[in-house]
Amino acid sequence: MPTLTIDNREITVPEGTNVLEAARALDIVIPHFCYHEALGAVGACRLCAMRITDGKVSGIQMACMVRAKDGMIVSTLDPDAVELRRHVIEWLMTNHPHDCPVCDEGGECQLQEMTIAGGHGNRRYTGKKRTYANQDLGPYIAHEMNRCIACYRCVRTYRDYCGGTDFGVFGSRDRVYFGRVRDGQLESPFAGNLVDVCPTGVFTDKTFRFKSRAWDLQEAPSICPHCSLGCAVVPGARFRELQRIRAGISPEVNGFFICDRGRFAKGSTNDPARPRQPRIDGTPAAMDTAIETLRTRLAAVVARYGPQSVALLGSPHASLEAAVLLRDWAQSLGTTRLVYTAHAEQDRAARITGARLERHARSLNDIRGSDLVVMVGADPLAEGPLLALAARQAVRGGGQVAVIAPQPVELPCRASQLILPTEQLDAALHCLAGGAATTLDATARQQLEALREQLAGAQRPVLVGSSARLGGRGVNTLFDTAEALTTPERTIGVMMLLQGPNSYGGAMLAGRGPNFDMLLDGIEDGRIRALVCLESDPIGESRDPARTQELLGRLDLLAALDARPTATVARAAIFLPTRTGIEADGSYVSNEGRLQAFARVMEPGVPLRDTSPAGHPPREFFTETPGSEPWPAWRVFARLLGRSEDLAVLRREIADLDPRFAPLAGIRPEAPGSRLTTTPGLPHYQLDREARE
């Protein structure tokens, strides 16, 4: 741990820290462009100049390129360093257009900030500026090469970090060009990260073009709802519209990057077809009335058929708070018929994961540092793209990736691929654990035995599975394999891709309860008379949509809470609109058991539209914001339960009542979140059998 002095202040930093990071730890910002925590130091921009006095490396040096050494004396205010920094900015500005007023980067532009910080205010160069032709990079990313300052962050992100091949750097001298061979949509599923890493306005979000200035956006730390990984995102809203999403920074999870689905798929928040009005039997109603009607109609069903005639269906997409209150509500109604996903097989897989993950749990950061990642049946680019990106980092760090799947799995990195039909994946896992696996052919067995050897020798191995492909049985076998190969020296890690952002949380709450297929059976034989669906669409999501649709028609009462215009919502007698994660505070438990909170970005409402001159001023005035009816789902249940409608109070209550959720009490959306301890000793095999019955 070297101790060095920067601008007369001492600091001790971990071995290998560069001077730029050491200064940052002292809140001394050394201006820089090309340096990026995730991309490393390359020393190209020459902006982070400082002077080192004494020692082996001395004189004017680049802070990013010099490792902190014991006794080093650093001055960031040295006149020569300041002069160089000013010149670097002046050089970069010789060709940079002064188009800040029409540039989308304006207000969050590193070049603007560094120009101010660097002290360059007057451009002495009066010659011609270099110009480029721009490319059409597809519907998501705008390209404006004239603004380029050649920090090379884009190629380092796109090619090195993300493994893209259709984008690169062309030319040389002061005419380097960052783009594709010819116009066309960027192929990488991580292309959107160019927008975040570009320090100027070369790559901007085309979907966000000319919509807002950064300072006008309402932003808040959030969690991506599109898969089970729980990447940090920062959505930005304005005029009641979710306008853009950028990557949040979460070292243990996504690091600095997100996938294009997380960035550009904005979900139902802005959806014009989104149902925003509470309805009773097809008639619009006030929220309070709708909730009261739900309460009285359910009471009638309970009175006639008993409490067990009511079934509740949660969702992998609903917040943990809503999921917990759904359980509390089930208890208050007296029913045990509570399920957290309409897909029975994924349900089983998630519950086994929740029960068995424990010491095997690994984060995406662990995967990035793994020396052997074995993916069984998982297709990360489809089910959790950041996992594919993490696997690439493992390979870049010298690790290896092996895939066992029914079809070749596309990954942005080198990987060995063993193709086996889905029904043989279980046998393959047995084989990895040392089993005989007689159903497999000789070549597959040979490859698996070689892989078993590799696993035995690996220091930080991780098994990756998928609840969608493996199902309950396969997931259980995968954990058996992880146990079998674990030695006292090192545990085999597991990462299981689950259905949704809160599948894990739902699985923790579901415990040994029934699955949705059992509920359907109950509806079929008339034991179940009422179903309340929380942000779940059983018609669209269950294993047998046709049967589900038919059976839902037999219910005395179907109620739905949702923000999406689903088939279930269309058939529900009582409909309660809920808020999306953009419009409400909440939390999810990601697939590694990490509890992470997200914050409300904006209040719900129909997005404002630009009006034509003829339509201005508006002819109608409202005292209410149009489309602001939706409530957070947890608030609906808090009302039904007669509990506090203050989320902070609810979180404390949840934490007090269920020690597994203790971190919920003081949870902050800007914090990295914490991994929950699962219920130890839950008999998973028993659960497995139960779920099958």
Candidates 25, 44, 100, 606: give the one binding other proteins (CB under 8 A): 44
**Pick 171 or 666: Cβ nearer other proteins:** 171
**Pick 88 or 691: Cβ nearer other proteins:** 88
Residue 172: CB minimum distance to other proteins, A = 5
**Pick 102 or 116: Cβ nearer other proteins:** 116
Of 124-132, 212-220, 434-442, 606-614, the window that binds other proteins (rule: CB under 8 A) is 124-132
Distance, in Å, from the CA atom of 398 to the CA atom of 458, rounded to the nearest integer, reads: 12
Residue 81: CB minimum distance to other proteins, A = 10
**Pick 171 or 184: Cβ nearer other proteins:** 171
Candidates 11, 22, 49, 464: give the one binding other proteins (CB under 8 A): 49
Residue 381: CB minimum distance to other proteins, A = 27
**Pick 101 or 398: Cβ nearer other proteins:** 398
For 168, the token pair is 């690169």
Binding status of residue 20 toward other proteins by CB under 8 A: no
Candidates 127, 617, 642, 659: give the one binding other proteins (CB under 8 A): 127
Q: Which of residues 643-672 bind other proteins (CB under 8 A)?
A: none
Of 2-10, 119-127, 339-347, 680-688, the window that binds other proteins (rule: CB under 8 A) is 119-127
**Pick 130 or 652: Cβ nearer other proteins:** 130
Cis bond leading into 680, ω under 30°? no
Distance, in Å, from the CA atom of 384 to the CA atom of 469, rounded to the nearest integer, reads: 13
**Pick 36 or 263: Cβ nearer other proteins:** 36
Of 122-130, 333-341, 592-600, 639-647, the window that binds other proteins (rule: CB under 8 A) is 122-130
Binding status of residue 642 toward other proteins by CB under 8 A: no
Give CA separation, 316 vs 215, 231, 513, in Å.
34, 16, 16
**Pick 91 or 239: Cβ nearer other proteins:** 91
Give me the DSSP letters along 531-599.
Answer: EEEES--HHHHSS-HHHHHHHHTT-SEEEEEESS--HHHHH-SEEEEB--TTTS-EEEE-TTSEEEEE-
Residue 150: CB minimum distance to other proteins, A = 6
Give the single-character DSSP code of 251. Answer: T
**Pick 43 or 107: Cβ nearer other proteins:** 43
- Cα dihedral 501, 505, 510, 512 in deg (nearest 10): 120
Q: What angle do CA 658, 662, 668 make, to 5 degrees?
A: 135
Of 41-49, 204-212, 237-245, 535-543, the window that binds other proteins (rule: CB under 8 A) is 41-49
List the x/- string, 74-113, binding to other proteins by CB under 8 A: ---------xx--xx--xx-xx------------------
Binding status of residue 26 toward other proteins by CB under 8 A: no
Give CA separation, 529 vs 336, 404, 522, in Å.
14, 44, 9
Query: What 3-state DSSP class applies to 641?
Result: helix
Residue 176: CB minimum distance to other proteins, A = 4
**Pick 65 or 117: Cβ nearer other proteins:** 65
State the CB neighbour count (10 A cutoff) for residue 401: 25
Distance, in Å, from the CA atom of 431 to the CA atom of 424, rounded to the nearest integer, reads: 10
Residue 4: CB minimum distance to other proteins, A = 19
List the x/- string, 390-409, binding to other proteins by CB under 8 A: --------------------
Distance, in Å, from the CA atom of 389 to the CA atom of 259, rounded to the nearest integer, reads: 9
Helix axes 344-356, 503-510, angle to 10 degrees: 80
State the CB neighbour count (10 A cutoff) for residue 434: 13
Binding status of residue 307 toward other proteins by CB under 8 A: no
Counting Cβ atoms within 10 Å, is residue 354 exposed (0-12), middle (13-18) or buried (19+)?
buried
Those residues with Cβ within 8 angstroms of residue 556's Cβ, 6 or more apart along the chain or in another chain: 301, 529, 530
Of 39-47, 183-191, 220-228, 583-591, the window that binds other proteins (rule: CB under 8 A) is 39-47
Distance, in Å, from the CA atom of 3 to the CA atom of 352, rounded to the nearest integer, reads: 48
Residue 313: CB minimum distance to other proteins, A = 55
Q: Which of residues 142-181 bind other proteins (CB under 8 A)?
A: 149-150, 152, 169, 171-176
Of 292, 367, 351, 321, nearest to 688 by C-alpha is 351
Residue 58: CB minimum distance to other proteins, A = 12
Counting Cβ atoms within 10 Å, is residue 34 exposed (0-12), middle (13-18) or buried (19+)?
buried
Candidates 25, 26, 38, 65: give the one binding other proteins (CB under 8 A): 65
**Pick 172 or 438: Cβ nearer other proteins:** 172
Give the single-character DSSP code of 102. Answer: G
State the CB neighbour count (10 A cutoff) for residue 591: 30
**Pick 42 or 287: Cβ nearer other proteins:** 42
Number of residues that bind other proteins (CB under 8 A): 31
Of 136, 146, 131, nearest to 180 by C-alpha is 136
Of 38-46, 205-213, 459-467, 508-516, the window that binds other proteins (rule: CB under 8 A) is 38-46
User: What are the helix and strand counts (H, E) for the chain?
Assistant: 23, 28
- Cα dihedral 463, 468, 470, 476 in deg (nearest 10): 70
- Applying CB under 8 A, the residues found at the interface with other proteins are 42-47, 49, 59-60, 65, 83-84, 87-88, 91-92, 94-95, 124-125, 127, 149-150, 152, 169, 171-176
